[in-house]
C-alpha cells in the first residue's frame, strides 16, 4: 500500500474509533472493569511475603542510561541482544505469584514492576520502533499495545490498560501511580533505575513525583504561563479534578526555582507530551 493509501486508511480507521469503541465500552466496559477490580481488591495487610524483584533491578541498572537532563533512557539494542531472555524469565516468575496474598505495598510494587517490565518486553519484541504507539497489536481500532491481553495473573488475562486503569488507579487511589508506570516514551515519567519494593515504596513514589514535576517534561514555565504534561489533562480527575487541583498537586512536589515560580501561577496555558521512544541510542 502506498504512503497516501496508508494515511487514508489510518484516517478512516480513526474516524470509526469513537463510535465503535464507545459502543463496546457501553456494553462491556464498566462490567469488565468492575470484575477485574473486584478480583484483585483482596489483600492481606499483615502478610510478610516479600516478592523478589532483584532480577528486574539488575536489568534496570544494566540497560538504563541516565541523561544530564534527568531523562532515563533505555539501551534497547543491547537489552534485546543481551537481556531479553532474563526479562522473560522474570515476567514468568511474577505471573506465578498469587498477588491477592500480598500486603498493599507489595501489591503496588508487584503491579508497577509487572507493567514496566512487560512494556519493555513488548518494545524489545518489536524493536526498532520510533514510538510505542507504532506497535499496533491492540486490534484494528486502537493504536499501541495497551489494549491487548499480554499477561496472566491469578488466572486472569490482563492488558496494560487493565493493570493501570482497572487495578492500580481504582484500588490504590494515589495520583503517584502515574509516576510509577512507564510508557517507554520521552514525555513519560522516568522508568526508575531501581525496581519498586514494598519496603521502599513510599520513598520511591515521592521521588518519582519530584523527579517528573521538576523536569521540563512535567512542568515548564515561561513568564506567568505554565505548560504541563498532558498526563495532567488525560487524568485530571486523579489530580484534583480541575486546573486548581493540578496546580496544588504540582506545588506539593515542586522544588527550588520551580516552587517559587508556581506560587505566581494561577492557570495552565498549555499541555505537551513527547511520544518518541525513550531510546538511549537516539538521544534527546
Q: Assess whether 187 and 266 both reside in one domain.
A: yes
Range of the domain at 33: 1-39
Nearest Cα residue to 115 out of 97, 138, 94:
94
Q: Assess whether 50 and 34 both reside in one domain.
A: no
The C-alpha cell at 52 is: 523478589
Least confident of 54-63, 134-143, 253-262: 134-143
- Is pLDDT of 7 > 60? no
The C-alpha cell at 244 is: 486548581
Q: Assess whether 62 and 102 both reside in one domain.
A: yes
Nearest Cα residue to 69 out of 187, 176, 184:
187
pLDDT at 142 (0 to 100) = 85
Report residue 167 CA to chain centroid gap.
13
Q: Assess whether 35 and 49 both reside in one domain.
A: no
Number of domains in the chain: 2
pLDDT at 33 (0 to 100) = 66
Compute φ and ψ for 218, nearest 5 degrees.
-90, -50
Q: Assess whether 161 and 231 both reside in one domain.
A: yes
Q: Assess whether 205 and 90 both reside in one domain.
A: yes
- Is pLDDT of 230 > 80? yes
**Residue percentage of the chain with pLDDT more than 90:** 82
Q: Please write the tens of the pLDDT for every residue from 264-274.
A: 999 999 999 99
Q: Please write the tens of the pLDDT for every residue from 103-113.
A: 999 999 999 99
What radius of gyration, in Å, describes the C-alpha atoms of the chain? Answer: 19
pLDDT at 141 (0 to 100) = 82
Mean pLDDT computed over 186-193: 98
Is residue 56 very low, low, confident or very high in pLDDT (cuts 50, 70, 90)? very high
Q: Assess whether 27 and 100 both reside in one domain.
A: no
- Is pLDDT of 34 > 60? yes
Q: Please write the tens of the pLDDT for every residue from 240-283.
A: 999 999 999 999 999 999 999 999 999 999 999 999 999 998 65
Is residue 189 very low, low, confident or very high in pLDDT (cuts 50, 70, 90)? very high
Q: Please write the tens of the pLDDT for every residue from 202-226.
A: 999 999 999 999 999 999 999 889 9
Q: Assess whether 141 and 3 both reside in one domain.
A: no
Mean pLDDT computed over 49-61: 98
pTM for this one?
Answer: 0.89
Contact 127, 80 (CB under 8 A): yes
The C-alpha cell at 127 is: 524493536
Nearest Cα residue to 259 out of 268, 267, 248:
248
- Is pLDDT of 187 > 70? yes
Q: Assess whether 25 and 165 both reside in one domain.
A: no
Amino acid at each position: 500500500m502506498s504512503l497516501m493509501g496508508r494515511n487514508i486508511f489510518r484516517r478512516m480507521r480513526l474516524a470509526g474509533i469513537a463510535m465503535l469503541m464507545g459502543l463496546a465500552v457501553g456494553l462491556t466496559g464498566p462490567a469488565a472493569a468492575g470484575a477485574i477490580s473486584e478480583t484483585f481488591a483482596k489483600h492481606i495487610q499483615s502478610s510478610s511475603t516479600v516478592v523478589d524483584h532483584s532480577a528486574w533491578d539488575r536489568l534496570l541498572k544494566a540497560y538504563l542510561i541516565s541523561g544530564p537532563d534527568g531523562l532515563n533512557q533505555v539501551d534497547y539494542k543491547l537489552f534485546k541482544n543481551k537481556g531479553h531472555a532474563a526479562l522473560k524469565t522474570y515476567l514468568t516468575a511474577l505471573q506465578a505469584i498469587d498477588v491477592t496474598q500480598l500486603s498493599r505495598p507489595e501489591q503496588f510494587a508487584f503491579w508497577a514492576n509487572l507493567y514496566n517490565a512487560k512494556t519493555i518486553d513488548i518494545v524489545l519484541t518489536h524493536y526498532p520502533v520510533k514510538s510505542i504507539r507504532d506497535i499496533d497489536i491492540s486490534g484494528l481500532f486502537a493504536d499501541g499495545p495497551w489494549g491487548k491481553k499480554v499477561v496472566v495473573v491469578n488466572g486472569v488475562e490482563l492488558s496494560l490498560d487493565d493493570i493501570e486503569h482497572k487495578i492500580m488507579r481504582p484500588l490504590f487511589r494515589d495520583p503517584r501511580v502515574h509516576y510509577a508506570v512507564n510508557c517507554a516514551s520521552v514525555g513519560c515519567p522516568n522508568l526508575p533505575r531501581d525496581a519498586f519494593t514494598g519496603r521502599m515504596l513510599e520513598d520511591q513514589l515521592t521521588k518519582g513525583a519530584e523527579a517528573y514535576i521538576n523536569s521540563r517534561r512535567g512542568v515548564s514555565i515561561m513568564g506567568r504561563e505554565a505548560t504541563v504534561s498532558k498526563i495532567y489533562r488525560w487524568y485530571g480527575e486523579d489530580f484534583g479534578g480541575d486546573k486548581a487541583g493540578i496546580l496544588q498537586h504540582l506545588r506539593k512536589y515542586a522544588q527550588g526555582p520551580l516552587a517559587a515560580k508556581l506560587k505566581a501561577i494561577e492557570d495552565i496555558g498549555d499541555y505537551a507530551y513527547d511520544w518518541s521512544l525513550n531510546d538511549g541510542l537516539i538521544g534527546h
